Structure 1
């Protein structure tokens, strides 16, 4: 990569990666461990991820939270900070409900709760090392900054 991507470009890449692999480790900042969850995005609500869960799930009580993402090819990483709360808008619930979600809830929508994760800040890493950088890694050479990855700290991922 000759030029580093702007934070907005890195954030846009994150959203594309998330759409192709919509799984994150997410947890409340209450001492409990994070757990893998399938997230949904809504283009009408930027900087928000949605997670269907059972009402008794450990994130259902809401609060300050962190989520981590690793792209399918281990070429993109994200750490997101924000707040989880219940999404009470039924139209959003219905809009995001699909067959994949339904497969987790044998009794359908009545067993599910929609949580919203409002992202306050994010740190994003794209590890797309250039071809010359990859050769240097194999041969033990020094990678120049312009051959390495992009990194962004953002207050918005939209």
Structure 2
């Protein structure tokens, strides 16, 4: 499997996994710990993740950042490098607003603490750990797993 997956196929798998479980860890490169946020995707803006958060959130100041993702099944991992910036465009907020976001902001879209952050992805490293049946047998019996039995890996400039 690993040898035939193109970087674009691995990136498409990432987007599908992120749609299924949009929870990521985001941290600014300037220091401090990463924290969990819920990614919002806009198909019209590839290579961008959006986050609704409070203006008082440690990420809200923006800057160079890293985002890490682990899929629900722990079979896909991603590390994204990019820049966080405020994007309080009302049309974008309206487009991405949903019941889950509303639960966090009692004042709705007019909540004074609400801010929309955008994370523009500069590069990504993606791992799909779909070990083949023969690889799983080797794991059980202590054999050596070849790269074609283990996983897909891609370093990409675009997840689109």
**TM-score relative to the length of structure 2:** 0.96
The answer as to 2:104 corresponding to 1:104 is: yes
1:69 matched residue in structure 2: 69
Q: Secondary structure at the match of 1:4?
A: coil
CA distance in 1, matches of 2:91, 2:62: 21
1:55 matched residue in structure 2: 55
CA distance in 2, matches of 1:107, 1:92: 18
Structure 1: give runs of 5+ residues left out of the alignment.
Answer: none
CA distance in 2, matches of 1:147, 1:97: 41
Q: Secondary structure at the match of 1:58?
A: coil
Question: Where in structure 1 do 4 or more consecutive aligned residues deviate above 3 Å?
Answer: none
Structure 1 residue corresponding to 2:136, chosen from 114, 134, 137: 134
2:91 matched residue in structure 1: 91
- Length, aligned pairs only: 158
CA distance in 2, matches of 1:146, 1:13: 18
1:12 matched residue in structure 2: 12
Q: Secondary structure at the match of 1:51?
A: strand
- 1:115-155 alpha-carbon deviations (Å, 9 max, x no partner): 00000000000000101101111111111221110000000
CA distance in 2, matches of 1:58, 1:132: 46
The answer as to 2:127 corresponding to 1:125 is: yes
The answer as to 2:150 corresponding to 1:148 is: yes
1:26 matched residue in structure 2: 26
Q: Secondary structure at the match of 1:84?
A: strand
CA distance in 1, matches of 2:5, 2:63: 32
Instruction: Say whether the 8 Å CA contact 2:2–2:153 is kept in structure 1.
Output: no
Shift of 1:2: 6.8
Q: Which moved more, 1:66-75 or 1:110-119?
A: 110-119
